Amino acid sequence: MGQGETKKVRAAVVACAVLVVLMLAPLFRHPAAICGVDAHRSHDYLQQATYDRLMRKAVLEDHEFPLRTHFLGGGYPLPANPQDPAFSPFSLTPLVFGEALGMKINIVIFFLIGTLGIFFLARRVFDASTLGSAYAATAYALSGWWLSRLEWGFYFKLYFHLVPWIWFFLENARSHVAKADPQDGLPILKNILFAGLLTAITLTQLGLGYVVIALFFFVYFTVDSLTTHGARRSRILSASLIGLACAFALSLIFGAAKVWPMIELLLQSSRRVDNYDIYRGVAGGYPHFYESFSVFAKALVLPSSIPNESIWPGWLTLPLAAVGLATGFRKMWPLFASALLFAVICFGPYFPVDLFKPLWLLPFFRSMHAPYQLFSYFLLVTLCLGSARGFDVVRAPELRRVKIALGVIAFASLILGYLLFNLNVLSGVFTKEAPRLVAEKNQADFYSVQGIGMVRGAPRTNHSQQYFNILRGVGTIDWDGDVLLAEYAQPRFFIDAQDRREIVSQYKGEAYFENTQGDIDFLKISSNRIAISGTVSGSGLVVINQNWDKHFQCNYPLITHKGLLAAKLPPGQFEAHFVYRPWPTFAGMACSAISVAFALVFLYRKRKQRSNFLGGQQGL
């Protein structure tokens, strides 16, 4: 790449980054806002805020890393939940800036990562021009697919922004394999390490999207290997699949801190769909998606209210992608063929050949309640990368004016769509702050509530919504989680649909005695510890109104009492300390820390050796 072209690339990267920041600026109109104009769409953002707020309370107030929480379900191993971000680097932003502002900052960071990833993927891997790569990146960022995720609060899907870079590093490793140079072993290993590190981050919160990413790369690399011939084809195919397997195996090792406790949780309560016919009942899902994808008018025209299944990457992106496929067929057909397969999977039972049903029989895929939300991402990426190659028709120097005109029209169409439709959508995402509810005075006032006749995964009243309750220092038994455990803890109040409280007659307090009498002088419940002291008249049990968990330790004999945590006490004064020590989490954290540290040291030393080698060469 010449110096002039390098300057163009840098200018394009800066322009794309500035455009992303300007595009997302409306999210910051109300920095402290956490809710939007639609309670249903705010619900998922409040779920993310729940995790972020619990992280802040544990670290900043309890001075502990949250291994569990007493605020949800009567006690829950929070980091084990597939959607909890405790082990994600993106948890640091809400920790520093608060869950409202931190979430918005993370959205910008995610979009910058994904947009620039598409740019370099198009430019370096798919050999697109700088102009075409910039257009692909812009179409990706301004697409209806991403705007619908922001509108509906699908925060976890933002981890898909890491996919272009994972793809980029895997392709770099494949390109070195294709050279068949024995000295290329180190670059291959470095790229696979980078791919593994990024894939491990997707594990921290993307959940089932992880297996969809693995499936796409398996399909694409297999199909792409068919473009080579003879013995070279088998070598490229085997190297591609081995590299892919190594990257994902490394991701499991790097992400062990999340994987090990998550496996233990899923063995206790897995989420699955047992009736395949449920997919035929998603009236707002499959039929709309099938219609929007099969009718060009709905694929190209962005409606004023972006539907959940919209892909819309710009009015000119589809024709440009068609041109890109035609002009760069040998390079692009494996990508479009893989995307076509994923499109058929998206349709599920609404396509003449149902390809999703065989996948549904496999582990993980059986847990997908709305698979089109995950598989459709790769249709967006394919259209954007194809549109980048569509600019090849004006690459010749004599067509410079035509290229400029095409670029102006193409970018103007994207910006026009944003101004007409998307700007209004973004302006309504974060508009309201959390209600100002009265917080409980101290830890001794902690208790939990439970809703009556309310759906867990739906908008709740102020005093039954889990995030709002955490702000008040109150727990929520019937919390909204994707993997739930048995809940034995008793709420202090029931909350009805009118936000009225009703005292629960069975409630005995957050700590009480069984088979003895006594007084409690002190009780403190934090993320990983429960401390209680007092006096008992005779031998008996002290029962904590928290779910039993085998990973608790205590200075008195521990037992489970009606599903709750309890300890046997002798007569007299006592001071009991319950400490949560989940060995799968500790073992996973140790594995992650050691493996990531080893990988970073290895990469640093090899880079330093290379710098010294180049310096010596220049000295000669």
The 10s digit of each residue's pLDDT in 287-344 is 556 555 544 345 445 554 555 567 888 889 989 999 999 999 989 999 999 999 998 8
**pLDDT score recorded for residue 219:** 96
In which band, very low, low, confident or very high, does the pLDDT at 603 lie, cut at 50, 70 and 90?
confident
Tens digit of each residue's pLDDT (9 = 90 or more) over 564-574:
999 999 999 99
Q: What is the mean pLDDT of residues 419-439?
A: 82
Strand segments (E) across 3-142: none
Tens digit of each residue's pLDDT (9 = 90 or more) over 203-220:
999 999 999 999 999 999
Task: Examine the pLDDT at 507 and tell me if it is beyond 70.
Answer: yes
Instruction: Please tell me the least confidently modeled range out of 107-116, 267-276, 444-453, 586-595.
Output: 267-276
The letter for the amino acid at 442 is: N
**pLDDT score recorded for residue 24:** 94
247's CB contacts (< 8 A; 6+ apart) are: 166, 169, 170, 192, 195, 196, 199
Task: Examine the pLDDT at 262 and tell me if it is beyond 60.
Answer: yes
**pLDDT score recorded for residue 301:** 53
Tens digit of each residue's pLDDT (9 = 90 or more) over 33-66:
999 888 888 889 999 999 999 999 999 999 999 9
Asked whether the beta carbons of 444 and 510 are under 8 A apart, the reply is no
User: Structural domain boundaries of the chain?
Assistant: 3-30+77-427, 511-581
Q: H-type helices in 227-272, by residue range?
A: 230-254, 256-268
115's CB contacts (< 8 A; 6+ apart) are: 16, 17, 20, 137, 138, 140, 141, 161
**pLDDT score recorded for residue 444:** 54
**pLDDT score recorded for residue 151:** 87
Task: Examine the pLDDT at 580 and tell me if it is beyond 60.
Answer: yes
**pLDDT score recorded for residue 287:** 58
In which band, very low, low, confident or very high, does the pLDDT at 282 lie, cut at 50, 70 and 90?
low
Helix axes 99-120, 3-24, angle to 10 degrees: 150
pTM of the model: 0.93
**What percent of the chain clears pLDDT 90, i.e. is strictly above it?**
65
Q: What is the mean pLDDT of residues 543-568?
A: 96
Mean pLDDT of all residues belonging to the chain? 88
